[in-house]
Amino acid sequence: MICGHGACYSRLKNSAKHLDNIHFISLVSDQHLNDLLNLADIHILPQKRQMRDWVMPSKLSGMMASGKPVFAISHHQSAIADILKDSGMVVTHQNDELLARQLLQLINNPHLRAQLGNQARQYACKHFDRQIVLRQLDSLLCQLGKR
What's the pLDDT tens digit per position in 90-104?
A: 998 877 888 899 999
Domain 40-145: which topology?
Rossmann fold (3.40.50)
Domain ranges of the chain: 40-145
- Express as a percent the part of the chain with pLDDT over 70: 95
Structural contact between residues 28 and 59, judged by C-beta atoms closer than 8 angstroms: no
Tell me how far apart the alpha carbons of residues 139 and 4 are, in angstroms, rounded to a whole number. 36
pLDDT value, residue 111: 97
Give 108-141 pLDDT, tens digit per residue. 999 999 999 999 999 999 998 888 889 888 888 9
Distance CA 101, CA 59 (A): 25
Instruction: Give the tens place of pLDDT for each residue, 40-50.
Output: 999 999 887 66
Q: What is the pLDDT of residue 52?
A: 58
pLDDT of 117 reads 97
State the maximum Cα–Cα separation within the chain, in Å, rounded to a whole number. 62
Q: Does residue 7 have a pLDDT over 80? A: no
Say if residue 51's pLDDT is above 70. no
Does 56 have pLDDT greater than 90?
Answer: no
Q: The whole model's pTM is what?
A: 0.82
